[in-house]
Structure 1
Amino acid sequence: MFTVEERDRFRKRLLARAEADDTVVGAAFTGSYADHEGDRWSDTDLVLAVRGDLTPTLDRWTGWLYDDLGARHHWDLSVGAGVIRVFLLPGWLELDLTFAPETEFGPRGPQWRTVFGRPRPLEPFAPPDADTLTGLLWHHALHARACIERGRWWQAEHWISALRDHVITLACLHLDLPSAHAKGAHLLPDDLSAELATTLVRSLAAEELHRALTAVVAAARTELAHSRPELATRLTPMLAELTNTPVT
């Protein structure tokens, strides 16, 4: 694994190259390194503002990361008119390198530290939609129950675990905690964390899957009662029917 010193040297090389690149007119750190030093496991998130067509700059940087820094793999995510190219480097160094047009160089969240260039005021990324997440709760619960009845154990486990993820996201939203990728899950109240711990699937036996489904549906009912009480009144009897548990 990489050392902190290796990661710091890597970041300095990235910034030196960005400052020497005539097509790069801005650079900023995002992620944990933007507002503090991160920790032993923090990766590197760097945004580059690119003048003109992104493709030549993206190709040139990709070649450099493979030829000079030994990158092992990369994959892409789209963000507006830009591209996030995610690199894996030796020692398990991860680089999330965003190539953004000048007009889309700016913070969309609180974690942003400009190194050089002029950031633009941009709309923040929209939070997850609570209505969609609520719909996924009952959808996943229904499909988990069907998979248990069909004897599709792995698929049942998939739906149960996905349902738990959405309960965590909804809880983080209503408590104003970071909601993406369970980043605020460790800050949830102890009683909710304890309830969520009972939802973990411990084996693929039908009885265990039904127990875990019952537990995660109970957690979903608890969350809805806190965040969407009117909707919880409508859905609770149906969710209870799905797991054959009494309405309380």
Structure 2
Amino acid sequence: MFSPEEREALRAELLARARHDNRISGGAVTGSGSIDALDRWSDVDLAFGVRDRDQLLPTLEDFTQFMRDGPGAIDTVDVRRDPWIYRVFLLPNTLQVDLAMAPATDFGARTPSFRLAFGEARDAPHVPQPDPRELIGYGWLYGLHVRSSITRRRPWQALYMLNSMRDQVVALAELAAGLPAREARGVDRLPARVRKPLEATIAARLEIDELRRAFAATAAGLLRQARGVDPAFAERLGPVLKLLVRTASNPSA
């Protein structure tokens, strides 16, 4: 298990390497480290601008080789948000290191958690919060598949679809509260009166009756959130959600 001291030493070493790399135009601390919110379990999040677009991948590969030879990274996964590449490293001591790189012309804060450590950064539009109407749409779409999975007696598939449906409800609640609404980053900061009803959306057992119960709670949560987004649409959506829940229990209803 990594220690905070090991984590911060690696962060400092990566920043120092980047600062002395002529290909890099600027570097920033991102994530919790940029807003003084580090805790025992925080990872290392850094972002870099690369002067020459054609040197972005070679620069990232050089840093990757360092991560393998030095800290001993055992695997990586890339998340691409063109023109950004986010390479995530897994270390043997379970530390996660995220290195993001973009051409210098695109290097800038995409979220509020960005603190320039050296060099230059551009003014960049922040990644927007999810569209609430889209979340509602995905909510009823997953709901359709919850019902079909339940009626086909496919509990594992039903659970997957149910969990995905709940994710939309959670994101809607986070949006309504002005909290980060991606990857459940704001859910634990929701007011108890909002968070408590969400507990009923969790299936306690992989049994059809329990899945039906959790489905009913999730559909009710989706409708509740939809009313706060578009009351007129919620009036049309409500009967359909109730029909989905009813026919999950009685397909001939």
Scaled to the shorter chain, the TM-score interval is over 0.9
Q: Does 1:236 align with 2:209?
A: no
Q: Map 1:178-193 onto structure 2 (within 5 A).
A: 178-193=180-195
Q: Scaled by the length of structure 2, what TM-score is found?
A: 0.93
Cα separation, 2, equivalents of 1:55 and 1:194: 46
* Map of 1:9 onto structure 2: 9
Q: What secondary structure does 1:172 align onto? A: helix
Residue 182 of structure 1 aligns to a residue whose secondary structure is: coil
Partner of 1:201: 203
Q: 2:146 aligns with which of 144, 150, 160?
A: 144
The amino acid of 2:84's aligned partner reads G
Which residue in the other structure is 1:69 paired with? 71
Q: Distance in 2 between matches of 1:153 and 1:127?
A: 32
Provide the C-alpha distance between the structure 2 equivalents of 1:18 and 1:12, rounded to a whole number of angstroms.
10
**2-side partners of 1:182 and 1:55: how far apart?**
31
Q: What is the alpha-carbon distance in structure 1 between the residues aligned to residue 169 and residue 223 of structure 2?
A: 9
C-alpha separation in 1, matches of 2:190 and 2:233: 22
**Equivalent position of 1:21 in the other structure:** 21
Q: Are the counterparts in 1 of residues 132 and 229 from structure 2 also a CA contact under 8 Å?
A: no
Q: How many correspondences in the alignment?
A: 245
Matches within 5 A, 1:26-175: 26-52=26-52, 53=54, 54-175=56-177
Structure 1: how far apart are the matches of 2:192 and 2:227?
17
The amino acid across from 1:18 in the alignment is A
Shift of 1:170: 1.1
Q: Matches of 1:107 and 1:13 in 2, distance apart?
A: 22
Shift of 1:175: 2.0
CA offset digits 1:117-142 (Å, max 9, x no partner) = 11101111122122221111111111
Whole-angstrom distance in 1 between the partners of 2:245 and 2:107: 49
Cα distance in 2 between the residues matched to 1:99 and 1:239: 44
Task: Report the TM-score, using the length of structure 1 for normalisation.
Answer: 0.95
User: Aligned equivalents of 2:9 and 2:194: distance in 1?
Assistant: 41
Q: Secondary structure at the match of 2:87?
A: strand
Q: d(CA) in 2 for partners of 1:217 and 1:28? A: 42
Determine if contact 2:158/2:211 at 8 Å carries over to the other structure. Answer: yes
Alpha-carbon deviation of 1:37? Answer: 4.3
Aligned residue identity for 1:47: A
RMSD: 1.3
Q: How many angstroms does 1:244 deviate by?
A: 2.4
Retained in 1: the 8 A contact 2:133–2:229? no
C-alpha deviation, 1:181, in angstroms: 0.6
Match of 1:177 in 2: 179
* Residue identity opposite 1:87 in structure 2: F
Distance 2:65 2:2 in 1: 22
- The alignment partner of 1:180 has SS state of coil
Q: Which runs of 4+ in 1 moved over 2 A?
A: none
Q: CA offsets per residue over residues 171-219 of structure 1, 9 Å max, x none? A: 1112211111111101222122111101111112111111110111111
Percent identical across equivalent pairs? 40
Q: Could you list the runs of 5+ residues in structure 2 that have no partner in the other structure?
A: 248-253
Q: CA offset at residue 220 of structure 1?
A: 1.0
Contact 2:179 2:186 in 1 (8 A): yes
